[in-house]
A and B are shown apart, each in its own frame.
Chain A
Amino acid sequence: MTIKSFLFLTTFFYSSFALANYDVSGKLLLTGGATQIEGASGGGITPWAFIGGNGTKEQVGANAFYTSVITSDYRLESLGVLIGIYDRLELSLARQVFDTQEVGILLGLGRSYKIKQNILGLKIKIIGDAVLDQDSWLPQISIGTFYKENRQGATIKSLGARADHGLDIYLSATKIFLSESILANITLRSTKANQMGILGFGGNLNDSLELQFESSLAYLLTRKLAAGFEFRTKPDNLKGIKEENWGDLFLAWAPTKNISLVGSYALLGTIANKDNQTGYYTSLQIGF
Chain B
Amino acid sequence: MKFLIIFFAIILSRSSFADSNLFNEFGDKEKIVKVVDDMFVFVFLDERIKPTFEKLDLVKTKANLVDFLCVTMNGPCTYSGQNMKRAHKGNEVTATHFFALTEALQMSMEKNSIAQRVQNKLIAKLAPMSKDIINK
Contact = CB atoms under 8 A, between A and B. Distances in A.
State yes or no: do A and B come from one complex. Answer: yes
Interface of A: 23, 26-28, 56-59, 87, 131-136, 178-182, 217, 220-223
Contact of B95 (A56, A178, A180, A220): A56
Interface stretch (B34-42, B78-86, B114-122): B114-122
Contacts of B15: 179-180
B128 A222 contact: no
B8 to A, nearest CB: 9
A133 B128 contact: yes
Contacts of A132: 127-128, 130-131
Contacts of B130: 132
A188 to B, nearest CB: 18
Contact of A23 (B4, B96, B102, B128): B96
Given A56-B94, A135-B128, A180 B99 contact: no
Interface string B41-81: 00000001000000000000000000000000000000000
B109 to A, nearest CB: 10
Given A27-B99, A131-B127, A134-B127, A181 B94 contact: no
Given A26-B96, A27-B99, A182 B127 contact: no
B125 interface: yes
The 5 closest A-B pairs by CB, nearest first: A26-B96, A178-B124, A135-B128, A179-B124, A56-B95
B96 A56 contact: yes
A171 to B, nearest CB: 21
A217 B4 contact: yes
Contact of A179 (B48, B99, B103, B121): B121
A133 B120 CA distance: 14
Interface in B86-103: 94-96, 99-100, 102-103
Given A132-B128, A180-B15, A26 B99 contact: yes
Contact of A181 (B99, B103, B120): B120
A23 B48 contact: yes
A135 B126 CA distance: 10
Contacts of A178: 120-121, 123-124, 127
Contact of A26 (B14, B95, B124, B127): B95
B9 interface: no
A217 B7 contact: yes
B106 interface: yes
A57 B128 contact: no
A157 B107 CA distance: 55
B11 interface: yes
A27 B103 CA distance: 9
Given A27-B99, A57-B95, A58-B94, A180 B128 contact: no
Nearest to B15: A180
A28 B103 contact: yes
A20 to B, nearest CB: 11
A26 B100 contact: yes
Nearest to B14: A180
Nearest to A24: B96
A140 to B, nearest CB: 13
A227 to B, nearest CB: 12
A59 B48 CA distance: 13
A44 to B, nearest CB: 18
Contacts of A217: 4, 7
Contacts of B128: 132-136
Contacts of A134: 123-125, 127-128
Contacts of B96: 23, 26, 56, 58-59
